[in-house]
Each structure stands twice: as structure tokens, then as C-alpha cells.
């Protein structure tokens, strides 16, 4: 069974999740307040390169790009390379850039790669002419890779000296990660493990990389998930667990346990049921 991000409707699932959560808003606030944590490279070469891997929609990524642009020395040659095998996401991302009135986009060299990260690292990265990357973004996308191998390859092969890797992913105590760990092996649909910020920190420590982590709280409205015939609720559950059609793929016992856990953990608020979740931002420095 494939991961949800391989589905042609993946952008709609992402939009439903962001519509029901405040994750995008809290990430935007963090980005605006933490430029100094992201922009630490040596700019003596007059060049600055960003690699964006597997972004679900590119919204936060483009905010980071604009923030960096405002902090660079005038005349810095800036490139922004997007590696994403999801055609629908890549097209939506391109449209956001081409339809924007932001003047800086006309001065930035955009490079769109419709390949997996493995495909990019395996053969196409050399097309950059040997240019190293100053900033690598994994915005809720490291789940879809073999995380340790991906990070090691990026760190060793792609990242410039004083470069930065930013991984945004779920906290280890979030609802879906806890439930998936508890239910694994109990007729739970097979998918790649929903790794957490704690797992990425463990990789960084294993390889003795310098790192830091920020954790942000956000809320998620799961009211629709508690309605059996809600297509929006189904989409939200699928996104939380990264499993297409989880209500059909999982056993009745598993779905019952997920529903009972949601009812127990989600707090009533204004006619909705709200989960308090956390997003981890792990920053790795070279």
C-alpha cells in the first residue's frame, strides 16, 4: 500500500488538514520570529541556494524564501530548487510562484525537479554544476523518506559548510503517532512509520551533528472525524495517519479504538472537538 502523498488528490487532503488546524499559522509566526536560526551561512560567495524536498503545498516554504530574500545582501545570486515527485503538488507550487506579484520571484532562479529525493540524489543533483546548498527544507515530508539515509546524504553531499537543514514534523506525543505505535501489528494498515521530531534528533545525535529543536502548540478540529459518513472527516483521518482510506483498510476494532481515543482526548469547544497537538522544528547545522 502506498503512502498518502502518492495519491493524486494529496493536495486536497493537505488543504483539509490545514483548514481544520492552526499549524500553518503557528509555523508562519515562528518563521517570522526566527530568521537568525535559519540564515546562518557564509555569504562571501555571493550565492545562496535553497533545496525544498517534498513539500505538501509550498505555502510556508515560500514564506521562508521571502524572509531569506529580505535578509540577503543586495545582488546575492539566489536559487530555489524544489524536489517533489507529486505532480499535483508541484503544479500547484509552480502556480503559486508564477501568479504571485512578489517582485523578488523574478530575481530568483527557480528549479523544478519532478523526481523523488532518491532520484535527485542518485543522478540529477550534479546538474547544479557543483553548487552546494545553504538551506534544506523538509516541511512535513521527511516521513516519506528513509529518514536517516536521506539526512546523511543531504548533510554529506549537498549541504554547504555552515549550511542548515530544517525538518518540520510532528511531536512524538501527538495523537496519530501514539495510536499508530500502539496499534501496529493489530490489523493496522501498513505505511511508513510516522516518525517524530524525537527520531530526527536521535539521528542528529548519532552522527554528532549540531542541532536544536523548537516545539510549537497548535489545535486540530477533529469533529468531522467522529462522524461516520463524513468525507471530510475521512480525509482528515487519512492525513493524520498517512493512510489512504483508513476506515476501509483498518479493521473494525482499530477504527473503534481510534474513535474512542478521539472522543476521550478531544476537548469540546464551541460545538467542535479539539485536539491539542504539537509540531517539532528540528534544525541541524553543519
DSSP per-residue letters across 12-47: HHHHHHHHHBSHHHHHHHHHHH-HHHH--S--TTSE
Please calculate the CA angle 262-196-260 and round it to the nearest 5 degrees.
Answer: 10
What element of type H or E holds 217?
strand 210-221
pLDDT of amino acid 42:
65
**Cβ-proximal residues to 224 (8 Å cutoff; 6+ apart), any chain:** 20, 230, 232, 233, 236
| Domains with residue ranges and CATH for the chain | 4-38+45-172+190-219+276-285 (3.40.50.150)
What element of type H or E holds 94?
helix 87-98
Give the C-alpha separation, 168 to 267, whole Å: 25
The pLDDT mean for the chain works out to 90
Q: Which residues of the chain have pLDDT under 70?
A: 1-3, 41-44, 123-130, 185-187, 189-193
What pTM value is reported for the model?
0.92
Amino acid at each position: 500500500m502506498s503512502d498518502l502523498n502518492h495519491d493524486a488528490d494529496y493536495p486536497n487532503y493537505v488543504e483539509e488538514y490545514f483548514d481544520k488546524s492552526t499549524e500553518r499559522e503557528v509555523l508562519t509566526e515562528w518563521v517570522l520570529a526566527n530568521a537568525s536560526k535559519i540564515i546562518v551561512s557564509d555569504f562571501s560567495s555571493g550565492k545562496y541556494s535553497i533545496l525544498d524536498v517534498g513539500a505538501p503545498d509550498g505555502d510556508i516554504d515560500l514564506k521562508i524564501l521571502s524572509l531569506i530574500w529580505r535578509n540577503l545582501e543586495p545582488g546575492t545570486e539566489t536559487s530555489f530548487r524544489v524536489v517533489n515527485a507529486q505532480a499535483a503538488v508541484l503544479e500547484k507550487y509552480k502556480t503559486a510562484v508564477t501568479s504571485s506579484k512578489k517582485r523578488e520571484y523574478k530575481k530568483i532562479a527557480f528549479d523544478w525537479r519532478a523526481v523523488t529525493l532518491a532520484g535527485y540524489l542518485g543522478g540529477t543533483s550534479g546538474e547544479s554544476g557543483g553548487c552546494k546548498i545553504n538551506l534544506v527544507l523538509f516541511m512535513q515530508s521527511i516521513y516519506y523518506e528513509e529518514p536517516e539515509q536521506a539526512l546523511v546524504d543531504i548533510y554529506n553531499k549537498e549541504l554547504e559548510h555552515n549550511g542548515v537543514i530544517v525538518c518540520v514534523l510532528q511531536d512524538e506525543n501527538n495523537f496519530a503517532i501514539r495510536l499508530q505505535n500502539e496499534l501496529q501489528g493489530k490489523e493496522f494498515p501498513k505505511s511508513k512509520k510516522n516518525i517524530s521530531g524525537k527520531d530526527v534528533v536521535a539521528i542528529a545525535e548519532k552522527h554528532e551533528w549540531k542541532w536544536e529543536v523548537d516545539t510549537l502548540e497548535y489545535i486540530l478540529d477533529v469533529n468531522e472525524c467522529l462522524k461516520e459518513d463524513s468525507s471530510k472527516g475521512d480525509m482528515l483521518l487519512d492525513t493524520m495517519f498517512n493512510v489512504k482510506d483508513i476506515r476501509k483498510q483498518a479493521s473494525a476494532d482499530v477504527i473503534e479504538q481510534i474513535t474512542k481515543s478521539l472522543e476521550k482526548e478531544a476537548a469540546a469547544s464551541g460545538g467542535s472537538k479539539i485536539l491539542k497537538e504539537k509540531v517539532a522544528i528540528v534544525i541541524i547545522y553543519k
